[in-house]
A = this chain, B = another copy of it.
Amino acid sequence: MKKNKGSFFGVSLGVGHIMNVTVLALRVLNSVGYIAVPKSSLKKESEALSRMKKMPVHLEDKNIIEIYMPMKKEDIEEHWQAGARTIIDILSKGNDVAFAGIGDLLQYGTFHYLERIVQKEGFHTMYVPGITSYQALSESLNIPLVQGDEKLVLLPDDDVAYDEISGFDTVVILKKPDNLSLYKKMTETHKLFLGINLGKRGEKFGEIDNLDDDLCNLPYFSLIIAKKSKG
């Protein structure tokens, strides 16, 4: 029986250690004919594609579709629409498509922007979760994220007031951190840890010694975990 419509899978590749990918993610990637990857720059290879090339995925059997999804806000809706049209065209012919992204696509993933358009057109969509960057940093630091009665806050960036987050035991701040005045206040109550390029060339992680130096010229793949100082 020929399938009328393909399914659209959002497959999370994880971060950090290359084996931080689930069996389900690999199973889905190896089962489809088409793999889409987001590309933030026209000049450089997709980060997701680079990571996937190191995994046991049979890319030689696949059609790779690079979806241009720039980080800039202007015209971004237009790029999502164009990407979704490409996917819908393939799904309409009865092919399954997996979209592969770094980290966990359930948390600030780019899959969602395509998925909501594709779903509106009546296609089946599905998320495959993955290891997040804050789990990978916590793993590298060998310090658990939360234990016992501790509470955690997850923020997409550091555009936040200190009072909103100071009461939480663990604060995770994603995206390139640069709000120095916030972090200066935070050091009074929390220990700050930084992770840079986890699982990639130039990987660095550890406790922040000097805010001005450590937060200077950070690459895009940087994040902070703040842990409340005890006693």
A-side residues, CB < 8 A to B, are: 14, 17, 19-24, 26-27, 104-109, 112, 125-131, 135-136, 138-139, 142, 144-157, 159-160, 164, 167-168
Whether the Cβ atoms of B164 and A156 lie closer than 8 Å is: no
Known contacts A151-B154, A152-B154; is-contact A125 B146 (Cβ 8 Å): no
- Partner of A20 from the list B125, B129, B152 (CB cut-off 8 Å) is B129
Complex CA–CA separation, A24 to B56 (angstroms): 13
| A153 partner residues in chain B, CB cutoff 8 A | 151-154, 168
Give 14 new A-B contacts, CB below 8 A, not counting A106-B146, A127-B142, A128-B139.
Answer: A20-B23, A21-B23, A22-B131, A106-B139, A106-B145, A107-B145, A127-B144, A129-B131, A129-B139, A131-B131, A148-B156, A151-B153, A151-B154, A151-B156
A14 in complex: contacting residue of B22, B26, B136, CB < 8 Å: B22
Across-interface contacts of A19 in B (CB, < 8 A) = 22-24, 27
Residues of B within 8 A of A27 (CB): 19
Expressed in whole angstroms, the Cα–Cα distance for A167 and B131 within the complex equals: 26
22 A-B pairs whose Cβ atoms sit less than 8 Å apart in the complex: A20-B24, A21-B22, A22-B23, A106-B135, A106-B138, A106-B139, A106-B145, A108-B147, A109-B147, A126-B142, A127-B138, A127-B142, A129-B131, A129-B135, A129-B136, A129-B139, A131-B131, A149-B157, A151-B154, A151-B155, A151-B156, A153-B168
Most chain B CB within 10 A, of A14, A127, A129, is at A129
Q: Which residues of B contact A155 (CB under 8 A)?
A: 151
Interchain residue pairs A-B with the least CB separation, the first 7: A19-B24, A129-B135, A152-B154, A19-B23, A106-B145, A106-B138, A106-B144
Q: Which residues of B contact A14 (CB under 8 A)?
A: 22
